[in-house]
């Protein structure tokens, strides 16, 4: 995880507060850094960037407060219209509320959606799965996915092709695991959250999906068939487990899965 990604998660978390002060930002940033197993040695660089990130957080807060104020005003106008029997005013308020609903959806998408793939991002994990201390709120299972030979695709065919591959595989994963939650974690890494504790069944499901992706015939503009596939590791977690510990376990299993596939190809 880089500084920008961790910053976005921190901002999402601080959206719950009315005011964001530098000391609060620093404290929350450090807590989340530990939760995500991030080690930034350049403290000066972190603090230098804090003013910009705090401003970004406050901009989002201002936008949220503006929408709340609009909703409050529309609610009062609706009450007045009903009391006075003013159908024209009530219709106007109804239109304003519908517009406000669309704006709120856009704000939520800005916070929780990865702009490239359209899937959930890291920020969404913090708000929907973790307590303030970075521990899970409920039991479940986490599957850590790393794309196979993605660096080769980027280096050989360019980042435009690489981005298209990421979008294609993200959509493939979402279709393959409709009952689970898909998150683009970073770069070519994804996480699938499942409520089931049946690791054996999950392994079989992901093995099947991985094999199916391997046999997809996706071509580059020059006609080359692109190498498609992913390696994965599954780790169950209990309420109170840290994201850091669960990710470390899943990451090790993912690399074991990747190594086993390399051996089978030789």
In DSSP terms, which residues pair with 135 in a beta bridge? 242
Instruction: Spell out where the chain has E strands.
Output: 140-147, 181-186, 189-194, 230-237
User: CA Rg, the chain, in Å?
Assistant: 22
Residues designated catalytic: 188
Q: Are 56 and 63 in contact (CB under 8 A)?
A: no
Two structure tokens written together for 264: 């089978």
| Helix segments in 113-196, DSSP class H | 122-129, 150-157, 159-176
Two structure tokens written together for 254: 């993912």
Dist CA 176 CA 209 (whole Å): 7
Side-chain-side CA neighbours of 44 within 13 Å: the count stands at 0
């Amino acid at each position: 995880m880089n500084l920008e990604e961790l910053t976005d998660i921190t901002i999402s978390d601080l959206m719950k507060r009315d005011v964001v002060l530098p000391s609060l930002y620093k404290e929350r940033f450090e807590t989340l850094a530990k939760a995500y197993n991030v080690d930034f040695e350049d403290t000066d660089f972190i603090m230098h960037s804090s003013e910009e990130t705090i401003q970004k957080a406050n901009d989002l807060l201002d936008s949220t407060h503006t929408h709340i104020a609009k909703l409050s005003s529309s609610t009062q106008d609706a009450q007045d219209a009903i009391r006075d029997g003013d159908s024209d005013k009530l219709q106007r308020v109804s239109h304003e509320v519908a517009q406000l609903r669309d704006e709120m959806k856009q704000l939520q998408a800005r916070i929780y959606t990865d702009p490239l793939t359209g899937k959930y991002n890291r920020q969404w994990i913090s708000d929907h799965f973790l307590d303030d201390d970075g521990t899970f709120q409920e039991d479940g299972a986490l599957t850590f996915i790393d794309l196979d030979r993605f660096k080769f695709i980027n280096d050989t065919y360019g980042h435009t092709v690489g981005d298209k591959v990421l979008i294609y595989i993200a959509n493939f994963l979402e279709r393959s695991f409709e009952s689970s939650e898909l998150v683009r974690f970073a770069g070519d890494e994804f996480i699938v959250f499942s409520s089931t504790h049946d690791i054996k069944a999950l392994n079989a499901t992901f093995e099947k999906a991985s094999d199916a992706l391997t046999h997809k015939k996706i071509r580059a503009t020059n006609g080359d068939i692109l190498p498609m596939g992913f390696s994965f590791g599954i780790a169950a977690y209990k309420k109170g487990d840290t994201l850091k510990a669960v990710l470390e376990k899943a990451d090790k299993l993912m690399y074991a899965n990747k190594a086993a596939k390399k051996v089978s190809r030789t």
